[in-house]
Chains A and B, each alone.
Chain A
Amino acid sequence: MKFTWFHLMPWPHLPDDFREKYRSVWVDIPTTLYDAKRGHQIYHDYLDQLEFAEKMGFDALGVNEHHANAYGLMPSPNIMAAALARRTSKAAVMVLGDSIALYNPPIRVAEEFAMLDVITGGRLVAGFPVGTSMDTNYAYGQIPALTREKYAEAHELIMKAWREDEPFAFNGRYTQLRYVNCWPKPIQRPRPPIFIPGGGSLETYDFCLEFDYTYCYLSYSGYLRAKQLMDGYWERVAKSGKDDSPYRGGFAQVICVADTDAEAERLYAPHVHYFYNRCLHVYPGFADAPGYRTIKTLQANMITQLTQAQLRNYPTLTWKDLVDQGYVIAGSPQTVYDRMVDLAKTLRVGNIFALFQVGDMPGDKVRHSTQLFAEKVMPRLKAEMFPEWRNEDRFWIKPMQDSERRLAAE
């Protein structure tokens, strides 16, 4: 299995009465709640945590893109990836990713990802999300019903820019460029591994299968609720006639490890509640702009989504609810190991985007949990899960040889 240590970089100083006083953590949350001097410390703490994760042996360090929010403070994930590029030398740098419909022109993504791949010596995993509706439509003003068409065109442009050796003209509906000429080119040819976050639409399943991209389900509802969606994906994989490598799939999971189950609750419960009750407090009017989802997807998933929305009543969930229902995998190393095995088997995913820093969790607890997982859980999972796919390398980075490569700056 491949473990990505993923950071959302949340703002950890939202007030206790945040839910009562403010309607949304996204889009129209006032910046009076932000403090740039504290932000300075926090960015450095968070980058330190990512660097620590490399030392602990995680396969990848993950960052992503969000706008106008206190849930994740990375409007530009490429800046974070660049900071990591010079301070790490082994782990993949996973940008999950750049919301390609938001870059104008999107050739910018081809260029910046190529820069990151060159600087890291071929350690980039490139993610191409559509972005949440809050980010893409409300904060970045994209017309909802045209967002996916613009995304598809941006994808076509970026891939061609990486692939072609000669300058070419690109006559798109949303981007016209007389000269596409991507300097630099990525180390990984024809392209770095590509990961696509999805939420259950058939179009995204097929898109991933057509190009052999890894399909990633980033949910905070835990693996038990994700089963139906991932089953849908694997059915589609089977129908397509492709192999069922578990590395075609990935899942995000909040993980909290302590010496005992009781200790996990004592150490982490307040921070997990902060995350679910403040970081995910999104005004329903911003959750899903009309036209953002295709009608086909709505028709296929509407009833499931409505049911899930009713279940997603975070403030009423206790620690026990969150753990029992699998939102959070928490406890002793043995407990966490058992549940991770169950997760990997239930969803058949080779990639885990593990969230150890959650809500307002401070650095010492983040390190404690990360280290216990890295020492007592991760090696067992790597040794035992999906042995028949041990040599799978199609979906992962192919860096330059160590001997050719500049290693981390000290």
Chain B
Amino acid sequence: MMTMHTLPKLIELEVGQVIGATEFLLTRDSLVRYAGASGDFNQIHYRDDVAAAVGLPGVLAHGMLTMGAAVQVAVDWVGDAGRVIDYQVRFTKPVVVHPTDGAVLIVTGTIGAIDAEANTVRIDLEAVFEDAKVLGKAQAVVRL
């Protein structure tokens, strides 16, 4: 099944406009799945004993999983994963994933800048876990 997605029109956009928000549930299953898909098998992402041994508060989500999930807010808005041409984040806080409850990541996308000449829009992403931002300077430039 496929639905046609209409591309946002640059002229109708303004800086500060919220383009979407998504709640992601990151469970231990999500971490195992991401480990397999990415090839990052660091044990701090699936073993409580190892996480504790290196002084962590618990098993952590891969930073790259948080980064990869967060950008989906921009991808969904533009309707095409191939239109994200530049994406950067800073990892500011770890996401601790509870063994049964997981971790809820709330991502909100806001228009940060509009470049009419290049026909691109910068989406600023805010990723919040337990009332604290876990990504800094999370910006995705999308081509319209």
A joins B in a complex: no
Q: Which residues of A contact B (CB under 8 A)?
A: none
